[in-house]
């Protein structure tokens, strides 16, 4: 136990270089950090209003509303809210999540490889390789892609659970505990970053067939089912209701301009700009995979061909090599026909995201090299030094950006790059409405009594029969009641109010209540998650009860 603690402390110490710039005060220039700070503020606001799970933000898109967490992964903001309750500023909350992602990934990879390879030295090196990779620093310091970063931190724990299940014997006690743990880890992966979950699910499906646990594939399917059930409240509505938003219009064919070349994977200058791999511009972000990671794969591949035919971890090595080269193929232009024939790949948007698989596979290969090659201690030290040294220019921010808190609090953007989750009938708004409710025909008075994202209550007094506009873009779930009676809302046939609900009221004083309610899809999704939790609780309680009865 003391040795394990010492190893974890050493892993943490080696991670200091990778995370040190996250301790600088304030924010930093990046692609998405501001977006995530705005999301964090919005998550805090929605939870304080009692909206759970949070789905509709009434303040974003300059006060006209946006289905932010209906489609955007919520776990980073949920975790950030924990830090906020501990006293962190909104900026520091997001940085704390980035820090957590780096530490979790290194530790998780160590635990996974230690269980898989039964070699602490090999697992230690694999953990460091997984942390010190260009894509990890790109996610944190260049893109500030909090979802991708956190998902890569959680990912090794899913694989760790698969390995531990193979040691659990029958579906009892330890095996059952790891099935439940694996289901939870997979659910967290989905709500951390659904695209990363999509990319790695095929690997999870095939992993057990390449390892000693391949006979445990049925239990692996249980993990996936539990994970899908626990996270259904998020992904099911996103799948069902994607038809209402602009996402496909904006990102259809987006990947075609994002393929990289072999030479860019081998080396491209480290920059903090945007991604233009087909027509690189000075200062663009880097696409390098990491020469040390590539070298480890090549050396291990040669060793496996010459000496590894009878190696007991041969299948694991084949898994690492196959997934590495497949991920590289999917980043290159020659894979475009595959992207066009497999429609789900367009959801990935950036082929470079498959580099996460490349680094994961190379980390396994690094562990296998140290376990089986001669002079293992020398190779261990050499690779450890080389992988840290090779990334020495990557573990830093570009520039500090530290405006006052009011700067972020006053930002009411969509918190996404292109407003891709706007309803098809909506649009980006450049200024806020005068009021959530306003007269467009007739005259009268509006007094807003309650103004929350999912519910607006107002007292309306109309001099004559009138039409009012509710200044939130319509999305399935919105309904309007006038004096506790549902009224018809028109959001498509009014040219000057396109996308904003319009309804009529008679002359006189009325109470108007607009509420964002669950649709049938959302109710179904919530029910699936609740039922999954109940099933897990019944299993846990029954096991506890059985143990108590055997002791009587």
Secondary structure, 3-state, 140-196 = HHHCCCHHHHHHHHHHHHHHHHHHHHCCCCCCCHHHHHHHHHHHHHHHHHHHHCHHH
**Neighbour tally for 40: CB within 10 Å:** 29
- Packed helices 314-331 and 355-372: angle between N→C axes, nearest 10 degrees: 150
Euclidean distance between CA atoms 147 and 132, whole angstroms: 18
Query: Edge-to-edge strand order for the sheet containing 508-516?
Result: 444-452, 455-462, 508-516, 478-482, 485-486
CA pseudo-torsion sign 319, 321, 324, 330: negative
437-517 topology per CATH: Immunoglobulin-like (2.60.40)
- Check: CB of residue 481 under 8 Å from CB of residue 487: yes
Q: What pLDDT shows up at residue 252?
A: 85
3-state helix, strand, coil in the chain (%, to 5): 60, 10, 30
Q: Which two tokens stand for residue 391?
A: 């990334």
260 pairs with which residues across the strands? Answer: 332
Q: Which residues pair with 502 in a beta bridge?
A: 469, 490
Q: How far is CA 176 from CA 169, 226, 536, in A?
A: 9, 12, 11
- Residues contacting residue 379 through CB under 8 Å, at least 6 positions apart: 369, 370, 373
- State the DSSP string of 341-374: HSGGGGGG--GGGGHHHHHHHHHHHHHHHHHHSS
DSSP 423: B
Residue 334's pLDDT is: 96
- Nearest Cα neighbor of 476 from 7, 44, 55, 159 is 55
Query: Contact, 159 vs 112, CB < 8 A?
Result: yes
Residue 552: what pLDDT? Answer: 65
- Residue 466 bridge partners (DSSP): 505
Q: 546 falls in which pLDDT band (50, 70, 90)?
A: confident
How far is residue 1's CA from residue 438's CA, in Å, rounded to a whole number?
Answer: 66
Contact criterion met (CB below 8 Å) for 520 and 477: no
* Reduced 3-state DSSP string for 382-396: HHHHHHHHHCCCCCC
271 compared with 212, residue with greater pLDDT: 271
Q: What confidence tens digit (pLDDT) does each residue in 451-500 have? A: 999 999 999 999 999 999 999 999 999 999 999 999 999 887 655 667 89
Q: How far apart are CA 237 and CA 253, in angstroms?
A: 24
Query: CA 466 to CA 446: how far, in whole Å?
Result: 12
Model confidence pLDDT, tens digit, residues 61-86:
999 999 999 999 999 999 999 999 99
Burial (CB count within 10 angstroms: exposed 0-12, middle 13-18, buried 19+), residue 144: buried
Taking only the tens place, the pLDDT of each residue in 1-20 is 778 889 999 999 999 999 99
- Beta-carbon count within 10 A of 342 CB: 11
pLDDT tens digits along 355-408: 999 999 999 999 999 999 888 899 999 999 999 999 999 999 999 999 998 999
Give Cα 17 distance to the centre of its chain.
24
Separation CA 253–CA 349 (nearest Å): 8
CA distance 460 to 445: 6
pLDDT exceeds 50 at position 169: no
Please check whether residue 231 is in contact with residue 187, taking contact to mean a CB–CB distance below 8 angstroms.
Answer: yes
**Residue of higher predicted confidence among 114 and 550:** 114
What is the C-alpha separation between 524 and 518, in angstroms, rounded?
A: 10
Instruction: Find the range with the poorest average confidence among 30-34, 248-252, 483-487, 495-499.
Output: 495-499
For the question of whether the overall pTM of this predicted structure is more than 0.85, the answer is yes
Higher pLDDT, 214 or 209: 209
- Asked whether the beta carbons of 480 and 72 are under 8 A apart, the reply is no
Do residues 29 and 272 make contact, with C-beta atoms less than 8 angstroms apart? yes
400, two tokens: 């500090």
Through-space distance between the first and last CA atoms of the chain, rounded to whole angstroms:
32
Structural tokens at position 234: 């998020």
Give residue-wise pLDDT tens across range 522-536.
999 999 999 999 999
Q: Which residues pair with 450 in a beta bridge?
A: 457
Question: Nearest Cα to 152, choosing from 166, 134, 164?
Answer: 134
pLDDT in tens, 396-419: 999 999 999 899 999 999 999 889
Burial letters for 423-435: b for 16+ Cβ neighbours within 10 Å, e otherwise? Answer: beebeebeeebeb
List every span in the chain annotated with CATH 2.60.40. Answer: 437-517
Q: Given this model, what pLDDT does residue 208 score?
A: 79
Residue 125 CB contacts under 8 Å (≥ 6 apart), including other chains: 366, 367, 370, 380, 383, 384
Separation of alpha carbons 537 and 447, rounded Å: 47
Structure tokens at 47: 């939870």
């Amino acid at each position: 136990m003391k040795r394990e603690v010492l190893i974890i402390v050493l892993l943490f110490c080696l991670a200091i270089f990778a995370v040190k710039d996250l301790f600088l005060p304030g924010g930093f220039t990046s692609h998405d950090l501001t977006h995530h700070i705005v999301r964090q503020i919005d998550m805090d606001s929605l939870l304080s209003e009692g909206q759970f799970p949070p789905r509709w933000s009434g303040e974003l898109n300059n006060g006209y509303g946006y289905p932010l967490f209906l489609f955007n992964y919520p776990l980073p903001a949920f975790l950030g809210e924990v830090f906020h309750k501990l006293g962190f500023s909104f900026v520091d909350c997001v940085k704390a999540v980035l820090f957590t992602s780096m530490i979790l990934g290194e530790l998780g990879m160590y635990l996974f490889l230690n269980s898989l390879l039964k070699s602490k030295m090999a697992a230690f090196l694999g953990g460091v390789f997984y942390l010190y990779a260009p894509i990890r620093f790109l996610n944190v310091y260049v893109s500030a892609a909090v979802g991708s970063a956190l998902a890569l931190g959680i990912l090794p724990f899913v694989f760790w659970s698969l390995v531990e299940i193979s040691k659990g014997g029958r579906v009892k006690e330890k095996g059952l505990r790891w099935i439940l743990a694996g289901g939870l880890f997979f659910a967290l992966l989905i709500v951390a970053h659904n695209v990363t979950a999509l990319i790695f699910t095929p690997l999870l499906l095939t992993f057990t067939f390449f390892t000693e646990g391949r006979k445990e594939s049925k239990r692996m399917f249980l993990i996936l089912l539990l994970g899908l059930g626990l996270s259904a409240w998020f992904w099911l509505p996103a799948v069902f209701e994607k038809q209402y938003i602009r996402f496909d219009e904006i990102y259809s064919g987006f990947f075609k301009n994002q393929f990289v070349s072999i030479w860019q994977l081998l080396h491209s200058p480290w920059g903090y700009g945007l991604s233009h791999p087909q027509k690189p511009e000075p200062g663009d972000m880097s696409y390098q995979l990491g020469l040390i990671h590539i070298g480890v794969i090549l050396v291990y591949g040669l060793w496996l061909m010459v000496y590894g035919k009878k190696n007991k971890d041969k299948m694991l090595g084949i898994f690492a090599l196959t997934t590495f080269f497949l991920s590289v193929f999917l980043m290159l232009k020659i894979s475009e026909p595959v992207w066009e024939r497999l429609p789900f790949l367009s959801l990935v948007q950036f082929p470079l995201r498959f580099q996460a698989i490349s680094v994961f596979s190379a980390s396994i290969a690094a562990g296998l090299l140290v376990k089986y090659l001669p002079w293992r201690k020398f190779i261990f030290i050499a690779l450890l030094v080389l992988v840290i040294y090779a990334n020495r220019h990557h573990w830093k921010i570009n520039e500090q950006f530290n405006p006052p808190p009011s700067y972020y609090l006053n930002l009411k953007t969509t918190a996404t790059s292109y407003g891709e989750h706007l309803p098809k009938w909506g649009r980006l708004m450049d200024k806020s409405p005068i009021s959530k409710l306003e007269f467009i025909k007739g005259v009268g008075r509006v007094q807003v009594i309650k103004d929350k994202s999912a519910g607006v209550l107002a007292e309306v007094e109309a001099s004559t029969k009138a039409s009012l506009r509710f200044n939130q873009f319509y999305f399935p779930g919105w309904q309007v009641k006038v004096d506790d009676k549902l009224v018809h809302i028109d959001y498509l046939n009014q040219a000057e109010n396109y996308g904003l609900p319009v309804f009529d009221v008679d002359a006189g004083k009325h109470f108007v209540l607009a509420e964002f309610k669950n649709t049938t899809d959302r109710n179904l999704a919530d029910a699936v998650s609740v039922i999954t939790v109940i099933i897990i609780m019944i299993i846990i309680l029954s096991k506890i009860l059985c143990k108590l009865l055997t002791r009587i």
